[in-house]
């Protein structure tokens, strides 16, 4: 009894939160799952039954392997556990196979790999210090951060309903951020390099990492006013960083380089033929651009300024994934989106270089890179908003101003994930309830953090 009381004693709220959300994830097992479920089953089958040389060429199913090699190895490892659940799911030709055991295995694999995410949140909490000794548990920054991250509603619907493996990937990212906060730069860089080879979407935030490590790690000291001190440049550090990234990339892409398959791998990873917008329109700038184009074309047709025969048949709004042209406004190419993105991240990069503010500045730049890439990127998924929301949680427990922005970001971001659950009206109710839950939680925590920080001087 004494042991039990120690276990459930005061400091175990983190354990309670982690267990609680895990149990909620178990309850979400029978919910709707999207085609991503079949995607991952297919990848289990591909990596298990085919040799490496076939992995990026296999096209029996329409859901071809389009993540970097580390993720393929991850699926390979999972497939060895999968064979104890249901051998049939590992057959490449069993398209859309979803027996109850397959469902159980896949769902549990997501829940299980989220352990890395829980560990990363634990590490992040260490980086957030409570400046004031708060007696109220709900006002401690660590508690607020744990709730915001562990119970992040967007992650719950994307991972545990829609079905993906973002949990442990975000765990890697948060862990690398935590390591940078803890001044363990090499580990942070290593973790990020590994992360890039798991899912290349994290390239969105790579500039922030690159500039920060170059500026604040390779230059070991600053002048008193914060500007660069050129003579403190450390070649050793630069080379060790480069070596780390190089070794990780070699491990990942090496086998495919040896097989001369690199162009094929890259064409799978960066499918520019897929079109400017994803099927379900990420709410970014190009969505507005397309809408404007559509409106103008309708007006043009009404006012007889446009010739109906010259308008292409496929339109943006039909929700298909393909390449095509705009009717009124100039067409957008991948290069244009890249330039727009670069212009958008330039201010934050400049600040990171010229006025580094330590890990907090890096985090701010990272969020801005994620948001800019989301806004102007080519073929952006709406799930990418999570790349901005999760790191923003870290910032929001620091300052009241950040908390306000976070409230807006999280509410709209999670709302924009709504189309992911478009089938089965029953799930709509779940979404609405869950969304209200997360919004009220965020509001609650914002209120308490405002109370907490209204007493501290601004700009802290």
CB of 207 to another protein, least distance (A): 37
φ, ψ dihedrals at 204, nearest 5°:
-55, -35
> What's the rounded Cα separation, in Å, for the pair 107 and 249?
30
Question: In the bound complex, what is the minimum distance in angstroms from residue 109's beta carbon to another protein?
Answer: 16
144: Cβ–Cβ under 8 A, 6 or more apart, which residues? 138, 397, 445, 448, 449
Give the contacts of 14 (CB within 8 A, at least 6 positions apart). Answer: 122, 125, 142, 146
Q: Among residue numbers 418 through 437, which ones bind another protein (CB under 8 A)?
A: 424-426, 429-430, 433-434, 436-437
Which residue stretch of 5-13, 56-64, 112-120, 238-246 sits at the interface with another protein (rule: CB under 8 A)?
5-13
* Closest approach of another protein to the CB of residue 430, in Å: 5
Q: Pick between residue 30 and residue 254 the one whose CB is nearest to another protein.
A: 30
Task: Quote the least distance from Cβ 15 to another protein, whole Å.
Answer: 8
| Distance in Å, CB of 448 to another protein, minimum | 9
Token pair listed for 229: 């001190």
Nearer to another protein, 8 or 91 (CB): 8
Nearer to another protein, 85 or 281 (CB): 85
- The b/e string for 137-176 (b: 16+ C-beta within 10 A; e otherwise) is eebbbbbbbbbbbbbbbbbbbbbbbbbbbbbbbbbbbbbb
**CB-wise, 18 or 375, nearer to another protein?**
18
Minimum distance from residue 424 beta carbon to another protein (Å): 8
Number of residues that bind another protein (CB under 8 A): 35
Pick out residues in 434-453 that bind another protein (CB under 8 A).
Answer: 434, 436-437, 440-441, 443-444, 447
**Separation of alpha carbons 259 and 9, rounded Å:** 56
- For another protein, the binding residue among 138, 322, 331, 456 (CB under 8 A) is 138
Nearer to another protein, 267 or 429 (CB): 429
Binding mask 9-28 for another protein (x = CB under 8 A): x--xx--x--xx--xx-xxx
The distance of closest approach from Cβ of residue 42 to another protein in the complex, given in angstroms and rounded to an integer, is 25
Which among 168, 146, 200 has a CA at the least distance from the CA of 17? 146
- Give the contact letters, 25-44, x = binds to another protein (CB under 8 A), - = no: -xxxxxx-------------
Determine if 100 is a binding residue for another protein (CB under 8 A): no
> In the complex with another protein, which residue's Cβ is closer, 12 or 456?
12
In sequence order, what are the beta bridge partners of 380? 277
Q: How large is the greatest C-alpha to C-alpha distance in the chain, in angstroms?
A: 83
Counted residue by residue, the chain has a size of: 460
Give the C-alpha separation, 277 to 284, whole Å: 9
CA distance 150 to 48: 32
DSSP per residue, 162-174: II--HHHHHHHHH
Q: H helices then E strands: how many in the chain?
A: 19, 0
Residue 448 near residue 139 (C-beta atoms within 8 A): yes
Residues forming contacts to another protein in the complex (CB under 8 A) are 1, 4-5, 8-9, 12-13, 16, 19-20, 23-24, 26-31, 136-138, 424-426, 429-430, 433-434, 436-437, 440-441, 443-444, 447
């Amino acid at each position: 009894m004494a042991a039990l009381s120690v276990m459930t004693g005061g400091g175990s709220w983190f354990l309670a939160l982690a267990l609680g959300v895990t149990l909620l994830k178990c309850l979400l097992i029978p919910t709707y799952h999207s085609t991503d479920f079949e995607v991952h089953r297919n990848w289990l089958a591909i990596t298990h039954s085919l040799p490496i040389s076939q992995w990026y060429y296999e096209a029996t199913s329409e859901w071809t392997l389009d993540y970097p090699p580390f993720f393929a190895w991850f699926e390979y490892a999972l497939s060895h556990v999968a064979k104890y659940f249901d051998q049939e799911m590992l057959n490449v030709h069993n398209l859309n196979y979803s027996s109850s055991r397959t469902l159980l295995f896949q769902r549990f694999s997501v829940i299980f790999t989220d352990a890395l995410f829980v560990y990363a949140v634990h590490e992040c909490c260490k980086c957030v210090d409570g400046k004031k000794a708060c007696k109220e548990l709900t006002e401690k920054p660590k508690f607020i951060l744990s709730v915001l991250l562990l119970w992040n509603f967007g992650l719950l619907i994307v991972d545990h309903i829609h079905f993906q493996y973002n949990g442990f990937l975000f765990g890697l990212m948060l862990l690398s951020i935590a390591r940078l906060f803890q001044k363990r730069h090499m580990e942070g860089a290593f973790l990020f390099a590994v992360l890039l080879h798991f899912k290349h979407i994290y390239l969105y935030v790579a500039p922030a990492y690159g500039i920060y490590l170059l500026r604040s790690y390779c230059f070991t000291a600053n002048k008193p006013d914060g500007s660069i001190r050129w003579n403190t440049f450390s070649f050793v550090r630069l080379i060790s960083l480069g070596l780390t990234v190089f070794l990780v990339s070699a491990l990942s892409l090496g086998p495919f380089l040896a097989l001369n398959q690199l162009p094929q791998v890259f064409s799978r990873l960066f499918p520019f033929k897929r079109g400017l917008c994803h099927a379900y329109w990420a709410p970014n700038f190009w969505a507005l651009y397309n809408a404007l184009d559509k409106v103008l074309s309708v007006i043009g047709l009404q006012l007889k300024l446009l010739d109906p025969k010259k308008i292409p048949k496929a339109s943006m709004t039909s929700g298909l994934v393909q390449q095509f042209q705009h009717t009124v406004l100039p067409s957008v190419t991948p290069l244009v989106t890249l330039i727009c993105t670069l212009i958008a991240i330039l201010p934050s990069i400049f600040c990171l270089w010229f006025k580094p503010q330590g890990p907090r500045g890096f985090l701010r730049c990272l969020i801005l890179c994620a948001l800019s890439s989301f806004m102007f990127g080519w073929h952006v998924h709406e799930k990418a908003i999570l790349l901005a929301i999760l790191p923003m949680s870290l910032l929001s427990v620091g300052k009241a101003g950040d908390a306000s922005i976070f409230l807006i970001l999280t509410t709209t971001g999670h709302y924009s994930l709504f189309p992911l659950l478009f089938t089965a009206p029953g799930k709509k109710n779940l979404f609405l309830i869950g969304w209200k839950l997360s919004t009220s939680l965020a509001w609650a925590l914002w209120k308490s953090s405002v109370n907490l920080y209204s007493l501290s001087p601004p700009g802290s």
